[in-house]
Amino acid sequence: MPKIKICGLSCPEDITYINEAKPDYCGFIIDVPKSRRNVSVSKVRELVQNLESQICPVGVFVNKDCGEVAQLLNEGTIQIAQLHGQEDEAYIKKLKSLTDHPVMKAFSIQEKKDLDAAAASSADLILLDHGKGGTGETFDWSLLEGWTKRPYFLAGGLNPENIPEAIQRIHPWGIDLSSAVEIDGKKDREKILQAVKTVRNFESSKYFSKNKIIYK
Ligand SMILES: O=C(O)c1ccccc1N[C@@H]1O[C@H](COP(=O)(O)O)[C@@H](O)[C@H]1O
């Protein structure tokens, strides 16, 4: 069964919805002023106080100072750092030297060769998307057909309608979404519940392919 991450939480209501839906991961866009989901470090510290402990909080950063990211990980505010800017291998290695927490790097996939950098990354986890984080746009999933070099989070324009196709067609390790669980820019309880339920349905034994289990 793939993991699911609901991203872009910014207020106490969002935490209430997440605690009810229980995705595996949730994400906060931290100190990214250009994002409408931007939250300050102090706000994230406040919000995670009420997050249920089985849900893993992920901090999403765009070229943020490495030491500040490590601080948020090491104090336990977030458990994973998702790097969504131009962070290079040197940045990732530096961050990993400052913390034992997992580091996830987002890669923009426009053509097959973009997958080479993702495969070679020293990040603990990789996320593949179109490179326009949080805009609700998908990319050409055919680039990922048959790509088995390493497990990945798939992001970009995922919603309850296309999640089943994504899982059955390209087998992501995790599903990450934000825009599709919002109405007028606010997180929506029903949509979050529906997205998590859609992914959890893959737990059931009905997802077989030619008598072969795809997800155990
Ligand atoms: O959501 C944002 O505003 C954002 C800003 C900066 C970097 C990443 C951002 N979001 C990431 O985008 C995908 C979800 O995209 P979608 O809205 O479902 O199409 C996810 O990786 C978020 O972490």
The domains located in the chain, with CATH, are: 3-213 (3.20.20.70)
**Gap from CA of 203 to ligand 1 centroid (Å):** 26
Answer yes or no: are the C-beta atoms of 105 and 127 closer than 8 Å.
yes
Closest C-alpha residue for ligand 1 atom 15: 134
Q: Which ligand 1 atom sits closest to the C-alpha of 35?
A: 3
Residue at token pair 């077989």: 208
Q: Is the CB of 158 under 6 A from ligand 1?
A: yes
SS (H, E, C) 38-79: EECHHHHHHHHCCCCCCCEEEEEECCCCHHHHHHHHHCCCCC
**Confidence (pTM):** 0.94
Q: Is the CB of 176 under 6 A from ligand 1?
A: yes
Q: Which pLDDT tens digit goes with each residue over 137-163?
A: 999 999 999 999 999 999 999 999 999
Q: Report helix angle 189-200 to 12-21, nearest 10.
A: 30
**Gap from CA of 145 to ligand 1 centroid (Å):** 23
Answer yes or no: are the C-beta atoms of 81 and 95 closer than 8 Å.
yes
> ipTM score of the complex?
0.98
- What's the angle, vertex CA 82, arms to CA 97 and CA 146, rounded to 5? 105
**Gap from CA of 213 to ligand 1 centroid (Å):** 31
Confidence (pLDDT) at 118: 97
